[in-house]
Amino acid sequence: MNPLAEVEDLIYQLGFSHYGYSAITEPLSWDRYIQWIESNYHGEMDYLKRHLEIKRDLKNIQSSATSIISLAHPYRALHEETEFPFQHLKTAMYAQGTDYHFWLRERLEAIVTRLKELHPNEFFMSSTDSFPIMERDFSYQNRLGWIGKNSCLIHPKEGSLFLLGNIVTSVNLGQNQQFDPLPDFCGTCTRCIDECPTSAIGQNKTINSTKCISYWTIESKNNPPFELATKFKGLFFGCDICQTVCPWNQKVLKRSEPYQKHQKQITDDGLETELRLVLRSSGKQLLKILHGTPLVRAGQRGLKRNAMIVIANLKLNSLTEDVRPYLEHEELKEIATWCLSELSNP
């Protein structure tokens, strides 16, 4: 019997595509994760090292924690048209709209509220990826997908274009069930590796963040190496390439009307207008325009840096005069100098 049968209808009503549960164990990929950290593939994300003990044993969150529920929610941009100020700048699908840390957490909390009604004396805690849980590892254990060569969790019907949420609880769930993972259906396909512009994907299902476009356009506060920046392909915030080229996502993308519509409405004129807006807006104006979206994570400096990388890569000479004032900007003069140099080269 499914111990979550009484909340299953609610889970699907809230838009989650699939879920699973299991007893809490040490993450299966723990040794590989430590090796990834020791290889400095995490770049400037030092907070990942500070959370190691919690990630290794979730009982450090709450001693009574015994089980974890993993839930997958499709990117909202795939099934609904979201209000988003940038319709032409290439932005990762998960970031097109309201920050998922808010709305996904609300939906997880709705499930927690119902579970507390059913189990008033038990502990429940919901979390998104902002909390130090190795969510892909547990989601793999909970059969939400297999780990693909691009390190994403891939489900045979849902692809990989979904967010993960977690509920840690003291309720005994799956303590006696045998771990039976989904088969790895990547086979001999290497499309994600072959299509990554910066060769960030290793042969062992790991990502070197210091080569990853998403890392440089979202997480890093610094300028990327300029040789690497020339390979960013006009991407402004994040990157979906290793997912959009994946054969397991083709049906998902094809049946998504919002995604197909968005791809058709992108124009060069609209792109230049939005880049001009980024460069001409003050920091306060820019953050006000993007309030409530994941793009504020990059900060106004990071967004202006990203805009100049896009301008350089796409050779948008019409925006030269919008870049030039940043030659006098203490934090952005280096990237502005490089951008103008790229524009001057045929």
pTM, to two decimals: 0.95
Residue 159: strand, helix, or coil: strand
The structure tokens listed for 39 are 């290889």
Distances (CA, A) of 122 to 119, 125, 142, 172: 6, 10, 21, 10
The structure tokens listed for 179 are 């771990």
**Annotated catalytic residue 129:** yes
Question: Cβ distance 120 to 298 under 8 Å?
Answer: no
Nearest Cα residue to 317 out of 264, 275, 286? 275
Question: Cβ distance 66 to 175 under 8 Å?
Answer: yes
Nearest Cα residue to 19 out of 149, 108, 92? 108
C-alpha span between 5 and 256 (Å, rounded): 29
The structure tokens listed for 115 are 């579970």
pLDDT at residue 177 in the model: 76
CA quadruple 93, 96, 102, 103: dihedral sign: negative
Nearest Cα residue to 55 out of 76, 31, 77? 31
Digitized pLDDT (tens) for each residue of the chain, 346 residues in all = 788 999 999 999 999 999 999 999 999 999 999 999 999 999 999 999 888 999 999 999 899 999 999 999 999 999 988 889 999 999 999 999 999 999 999 999 999 999 999 999 999 999 999 999 999 999 999 999 999 999 999 999 999 999 999 999 999 997 777 778 899 999 999 999 999 999 999 989 999 999 999 999 999 999 999 999 999 999 999 999 999 999 999 999 999 999 998 888 888 899 999 999 999 999 999 999 999 999 999 999 999 999 999 999 999 999 999 999 999 999 999 999 999 999 998 7
C-alpha span between 41 and 33 (Å, rounded): 10
In DSSP terms, 164 is beta-bridged to: 72
Looking at residue 338, its amino acid is W
Find the catalytic residue in 129, 194, 268, 269: 129
Q: Sheet harboring 162-169: ordered strands across?
A: 18-23, 67-74, 162-169, 124-127
Nearest Cα residue to 1 out of 170, 121, 174, 140? 174
Nearest Cα residue to 155 out of 168, 167, 163, 143? 143
The structure tokens listed for 255 are 């049946």
C-alpha span between 311 and 319 (Å, rounded): 7
pLDDT at residue 1 in the model: 73
Interior CA angle at 215 toward 209 and 216, to 5°? 115
Looking at residue 302, its amino acid is G
